Chain A
């Protein structure tokens, strides 16, 4: 096995999509001569992930995240480039490879809808040929960790969205894969549920040394789990490095939070992000931060002043908006 769990070199995926104008006439015309257009979903992506790492994979909708994950999971053939995952070429879909990994998609469900989750777990046991003793131990440990003991014998259709997602993740990990692809595992869940699932992923990673690649729109997930992030946009890697470096690199501004003795108009100093009477937040360019704070302190009557890094989702949003 190679030293990295995932090794990707200049990976590309081009989709051919039918193109058609609106209207009946265009629809008829496309029957005879369909027009197609090529879309580069992934346009030459390279990175490496070491065993045991948890990496956040970030990007706006349509950036190529899911396409990349699917290529790494062996569901899509790359148009060109090379991917090696756990030492295997994913799209050959060798049994040994498939038994060592899992893909969880937050918006998809693979449990038996009308049956209790316990029955779906049995099915997983048969599919992955998990020895009975190991299966029971893993299942019970996961159930305890997720705190879903009493729900295990309820039909899946009667579970809440969050409970279902917990079961989904348990089912997907029963064979104790060493590699996890998690595509929006916490989508649509409330904060408590998100936290519980996050904790579960973290402890799974610790206990089994599993490699995790996670996409999420919730920066809280990423901040809690990932020390490293890969940001992808328009099918290319925009940033690959520590989460903290992302702010340094892309945040060209800082936020100044002020407590004023009396309300005042501060729009002359910078962009007012929030204004609640005597509490004001300003967004100012990074380079002017010391000058502006000095001016503020000199010219206004200020009770308190703090300089903050902007919230990370803010930074990311700006990165995507400008590119």
Chain B
């Protein structure tokens, strides 16, 4: 309960901060619209030449794109800003303040920042998913919706854990800005179902950077092609990555020495 209260209070502060820069909302809207348009054009270009891509129809791929944008929005609004702040704090030694608070430090460093306007992508993602579902013509059973929700949550947990581990590298190597670009590049690959990629890349996207599980699996749930074993694997991977990230974080903290002596 206290965790929720803490999240609420930081969210409140974050929103108040963001409301001061309302121009960013319009900029974000523009940026997201352009990205969406580019994505849609790409999709229609592909389907001028074929009617299915590795077994995925056009509407199904729209769903993949929806999940990609949705999770991308969550990453950009909540995960990435917190991890960037953590990196800065490790570099400048200001992590001290977070560590002095009588609350769980990992929770604290994960909820301090929010880029409110990036949540525009969350809305766009949901709209895309609704459109995709309508095109597929199927009605979504509450059960399928639940499974989709679970898969989505697993995906977010996996990406959060992955990010946290990447960020923890900052405890040893103080400058890690380059790592960000690495993630962005690989995340872009998640726009398409991982099944279309060659085996080696699929392996990377599945287990090294869990884009496959984070994006393709929820999309599979939505389009009724998810197998129980895949869902179980996603749950296990989410749990495993989260635990691993927590261990890495603990070790990193022990290594943290602050910037000034």
Q: Is A141 among interface residues, defined by CB-CB distance under 8 A?
A: no
Is A123 a contact partner of B9 (Cβ separation < 8 A)? yes
Do residues B257 and A76 form an inter-chain contact, with CB atoms below 8 A?
A: yes
Binds B, one of A48-56, A106-114, A218-226, A259-267: A106-114
A86 contacts the other chain (Cβ, under 8 Å)?
no
The answer to whether A93 touches B99, judged by C-beta atoms less than 8 angstroms apart, is yes
Question: In this complex, what residue of A is CB-closest to B5?
Answer: A126
Instruction: Provide the residues of chain B in CB contact with A77, threshold 8 Å.
Output: 254
- Distance in angstroms from B118 CB to nearest chain A CB is 18
Per-position binary interface string of chain A over residues 110-139, scored 1 when its CB falls under 8 Å from any chain B CB and 0 otherwise: 101011000110110011110000000000
State whether B102 touches A70 (Cβ < 8 A).
no
A64 to B261, CA, bound (A): 7
- The answer to whether residues A76 and B99 also contact, given A112-B13, A114-B17, A114-B20 and a CB cut-off of 8 A, is no
Pair B100/A102 contact, Cβ less than 8 Å = yes
Least CB distance from A33 to B in Å reads 16
Tell me whether A115 and B261 are in contact (CB under 8 A): no
Q: Is B13 in contact with A98, judged by CB distance below 8 angstroms?
A: no
Within the assembled complex, what's the spacing in Å between the Cα atoms of A120 and B5? 15
- In whole Å, how far is A187's beta carbon from the nearest beta carbon of chain B? 13
Residues of B near A93 (CB, < 8 A) are 99
Q: How far is the CB of B18 from chain A (nearest CB, A)?
A: 9
For the complex, give the distance between the alpha carbons of A76 and B254 in Å. Answer: 8
Do B17 and A115 touch (CB < 8 A)?
yes
Q: Does B261 lie within 8 Å of A75, measured CB to CB? A: no
- Residues of chain B within 8 A of A39, CB atoms compared: 261
B143 within 8 A of A: no
Q: Which residue of B lies closest to A113 (CB)?
A: B17
Count chain B residues whose beta carbon lies closer than 8 angstroms to a beta carbon of A. Answer: 23
B-facing residues in A19-42 (Cβ within 8 Å): 39, 41
Interfacial residues of chain A within 80-122, with CB under 8 A of chain B in the complex = 93, 95-96, 98-99, 101-103, 105, 108, 110, 112, 114-115, 119-120, 122
Asked if B261 and A62 sit within 8 Å, CB to CB, the answer is yes
Q: When the two chains form their complex, are residues B6 and A126 in contact, meaning their CB atoms are under 8 A apart?
A: yes
* A123: B residues at CB distance < 8 A: 9-10, 13
CB-CB < 8 A to A119: which residues of B?
13, 16
Question: Which residues from B are CB-within-8-Å of A122?
Answer: 9
CB closest residue in chain B, given A97? B102
At the interface, yes or no: B94 with Cβ under 8 Å from chain A? yes
Q: B258, A115: Cβ atoms under 8 Å? A: no
Interface size class, chain A = 35 or more
* Chain B, residue nearest A120 (CB): B13
The answer to whether B97 and A110 have CB atoms under 8 Å apart is yes
Contact B6 A75 (CB under 8 A): no
CA distance A15 to B13 in the complex (A): 37
A75 and B16 contact, CB distance less than 8 A: no
Which of the residues B20, B99, B102, B103 comes within 8 Å of A75, measured between beta carbons?
B99
Q: How far is the CB of B175 from chain A (nearest CB, A)?
A: 13
Contact pattern, B 223-261, Cβ under 8 Å of A = 1, otherwise 0:
000000000000000000000000000000010011011
B13 touches A115 (CB 8 A): yes
Whether A126 touches B9, Cβ cut-off 8 Å, given contacts A15-B261, A66-B261, is yes
Residue of B nearest to A65 (CB): B261
Q: Separation in Å of the A107 CB from the closest CB of chain B?
A: 9
Would you give the shortest CB distance from A2 to chain B, in whole angstroms? 21
Shortest Cβ distance from B241 into chain A, in angstroms?
A: 25
**Chain A residues within an 8 Å CB radius of B96:** 70, 73, 75, 103, 105, 108
Q: How far, in Å, is B105 (CB) from chain A's closest CB?
A: 8
Q: Does B139 contact A (CB under 8 A)?
A: no
Closest 5 CB pairs of A and B: A98-B102, A126-B9, A99-B102, A95-B102, A110-B97
List 26 interface pairs A-B (beta carbons < 8 Å), by A numbering. A39-B261, A66-B260, A73-B96, A74-B100, A75-B96, A76-B257, A95-B102, A98-B100, A99-B102, A101-B100, A102-B100, A103-B100, A108-B94, A110-B94, A112-B13, A114-B17, A114-B20, A115-B13, A115-B17, A123-B13, A126-B8, A127-B6, A127-B9, A127-B103, A128-B101, A128-B102
Excluding A66-B260, A74-B100, 20 further A-B contacts by CB distance (< 8 Å) are A15-B261, A41-B261, A62-B261, A67-B261, A70-B96, A74-B99, A76-B257, A77-B254, A98-B100, A98-B102, A108-B94, A110-B94, A114-B17, A114-B20, A115-B17, A119-B13, A120-B13, A123-B13, A126-B9, A127-B101
